[in-house]
């Protein structure tokens, strides 16, 4: 067991003293009537002298963040979910016992205040405490005020302390659900219905990713935590729901960096009788709706770039983008050997399962193009080899009707004109198994139930998946995914 610091020992002694006084150190119900920000906004513009005629009182509760004790009268600041407000407390207003109780308080304690609104000579809206209520004794001291949690790993590991000390962290925590609620309202207005699909699956499909594997004891079978939402949502199109979406957690057993977390929030949406073009229009409109309704602006500063979400977004084919950067035209027919030679000349490593023209095209894109797509760009025309769930392009079946949305050099969405031919889909799955045999541990399984569903007939459809965490990073202007996930995945302390 760890050794307590001197401050922690003193705080535990104070806790015991509260018990002796008949006060619960960890509190009971306290009915709030307002919040710090609302009170300050309501009274901020009222002149100091007018407060003689104001007798408004409020019950507020929060954490003590500052104390200045001065004999028979003191000031302290409490912080609630909307901000902080100054409290003036005097022995003449609260009585000797109540004032002495306050004097035992420490920074970090949670208290309740019944106070009358006033304004100090310096113009600060303040509550004059009429009754002081101890609620919770903090047994650990908060970090030093002006430094907070300076260790980034500690900020994410002890998010609860980060939220206390870091106003920006709290701001992001409140903005994220507003963004998600805006998305839900937008999708509902477009005629979509929100559904829920299984997290545990017996097949690995819907994306190219390594899974987390768990075990179902009763059935004695291994199961995957879902890597995508796609397959069950497309089955719902077969069932006639026509326009469906889900916002849910997915799990990919992969590396971590400022843009990736092993568990993250994905939204996928599928619209019957639609296609890739409609998915582009839907995406532009959704991002611009969030910008307008949640932030009332269209320009955001993200990862060192100024991103303008207004207007029509750029549309660019993958092969044209590569040709622009390298001079190589992958639209031309070429053999695998020719493509491998080009990769060798450009110092691109090609793994065994990537030894086909489609994968090599994608490797060129990742090396020369991806990070250059700063303004919102729909990149379309992906090779068939890297798109097992997408309909072939009618003009050139080497490619598929798919786009990825890139902003600030990072992928934000992935959309298809959905493959609804069960015979073609089965062949694509079989090709995935061949890749797995060559070492691609992200290849899909053959989902026989999905093939059966397609055999009943799925309408022509457009589908799209959005990384909600990355979307929140853009709108909250945060550079790390860990700043928009309240509890990011962390390696345990030794």
Phi, psi of 351, deg, nearest 5: -75, 170
Residue 58 CA from chain centroid, whole number: 35
Token pair in block for residue 70: 């001065």
Q: What is the mean pLDDT of residues 377-393?
A: 91
pLDDT at 405: 98
pLDDT at 380: 96
Say which range, 228-232, 388-392, 449-453, has the weakest mean pLDDT: 388-392
Q: Is 125 exposed, middle or buried (0-12, 13-18, 19+ CB in 10 A)?
A: buried
Q: What is the mean pLDDT of residues 292-300?
A: 98
Q: How are beta strands 377-383 and 314-317 bridged, if at all?
A: parallel
pLDDT by residue (tens digit) across 126-177?
Answer: 999 999 999 999 999 998 764 556 678 888 999 999 999 999 999 999 999 9
* CATH number for the segment(s) 6-142: 2.40.50.140
Buried b (16+ CB within 10 A) or exposed e, 133-152: bbbebbbeebbeeeebbeee
259 pLDDT exceeds 80?
yes
Q: What value does the mean pLDDT of the chain take?
A: 94
Confidence of residue 199 (pLDDT cuts 50, 70, 90): very high
pLDDT at 457: 98
Q: What is the mean pLDDT of residues 32-43?
A: 98
441 pLDDT exceeds 80?
no
What CATH architecture is 165-313+375-483? Answer: 2-Layer Sandwich (3.30)
pLDDT at 196: 98
Cα–Cα distance for residue pair 333/164, rounded to 1 Å: 60
Q: How are beta strands 83-90 and 73-80 bridged, if at all?
A: antiparallel
221-225 β-sheet, strand order: 200-201, 221-225, 213-216
Radius of gyration of the chain (CA): 29
pLDDT at 145: 61
Give the H or E element holding residue 471: helix 468-476
Domain boundaries, the chain: 6-142, 165-313+375-483
pLDDT by residue (tens digit) across 72-83?
Answer: 999 999 999 999
Token pair in block for residue 92: 């003449």
Model's pTM, two decimal places?
0.91
pLDDT by residue (tens digit) across 307-364?
Answer: 999 999 999 999 999 999 999 999 999 999 999 999 999 999 999 989 999 999 999 9
């Amino acid at each position: 067991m760890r050794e307590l610091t001197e401050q922690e020992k003193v705080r535990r002694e104070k806790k015991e003293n509260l018990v002796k006084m008949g006060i619960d150190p960890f509190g009971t119900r306290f009915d709030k009537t307002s919040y710090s920000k609302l009170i300050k906004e309501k009274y901020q513009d009222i002149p100091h002298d007018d407060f003689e005629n104001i007798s408004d009182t409020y019950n507020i509760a929060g954490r003590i963040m500052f104390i200045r004790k001065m004999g028979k009268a003191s000031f302290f600041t409490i912080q609630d979910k909307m901000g902080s407000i100054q409290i003036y407390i005097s022995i003449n207003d609260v009585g000797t016992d109540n004032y002495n109780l306050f004097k035992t308080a420490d920074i970090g304690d949670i208290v309740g205040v019944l106070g009358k609104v006033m304004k100090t000579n310096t113009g600060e809206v303040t509550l004059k405490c009429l009754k002081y209520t101890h609620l919770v004794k903090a047994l650990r001291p908060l970090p030093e005020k002006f430094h907070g949690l300076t260790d980034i790993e500690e900020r994410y590991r002890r998010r609860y302390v980060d939220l206390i000390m870091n106003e920006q962290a709290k701001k992001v925590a409140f903005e994220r659900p507003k963004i998600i609620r805006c998305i839900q309202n937008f999708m509902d207005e477009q005629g979509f219905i929100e559904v829920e699909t299984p997290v545990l699956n017996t097949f690995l499909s819907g994306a190219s990713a390594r899974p987390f594997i768990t075990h179902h004891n009763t059935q004695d079978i291994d199961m995957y935590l879902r890597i995508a939402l796609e397959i069950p949502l497309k089955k719902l199109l077969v069932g006639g729901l026509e326009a469906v979406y889900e916002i849910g957690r997915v799990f990919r057993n992969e590396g971590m960096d400022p843009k990736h977390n092993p568990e993250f929030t994905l939204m996928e949406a599928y619209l019957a009788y639609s296609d890739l073009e409609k998915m582009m229009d839907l995406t532009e409109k959704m991002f611009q709706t969030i910008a307008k309704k949640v932030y009332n602006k269209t320009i955001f500063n993200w990862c060192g770039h100024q991103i303008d979400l207004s207007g029509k977004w750029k549309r660019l084919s993958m092969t044209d983008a590569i040709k622009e950067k390298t001079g190589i035209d992958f639209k031309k027919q070429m053999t695998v050997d020719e493509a491998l030679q080009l990769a060798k000349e450009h110092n691109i490593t090609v793994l065994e399962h990537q030894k086909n023209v489609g994968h090599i095209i994608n490797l060129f894109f990742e090396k020369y193009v991806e990070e250059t797509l700063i303004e919102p760009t729909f990149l379309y025309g992906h090779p068939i080899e890297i798109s097992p769930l997408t309909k072939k392009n009618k003009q050139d079946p080497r490619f598929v009707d798919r786009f990825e949305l890139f902003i600030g050099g990072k992928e934000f969405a992935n959309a298809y004109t959905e493959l609804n031919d069960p015979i073609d889909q089965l062949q694509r799955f079989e090709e995935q198994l061949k890749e797995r045999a060559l070492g691609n541990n992200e290849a899909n399984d053959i989902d026989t139930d999905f093939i059966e569903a397609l055999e009943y007939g799925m309408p022509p459809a457009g589908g799209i998946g959005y990384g909600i965490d990355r979307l929140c990073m853009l709108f909250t202007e945060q550079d790390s995914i860990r700043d928009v996930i309240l509890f990011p995945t962390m390696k345990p302390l030794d």
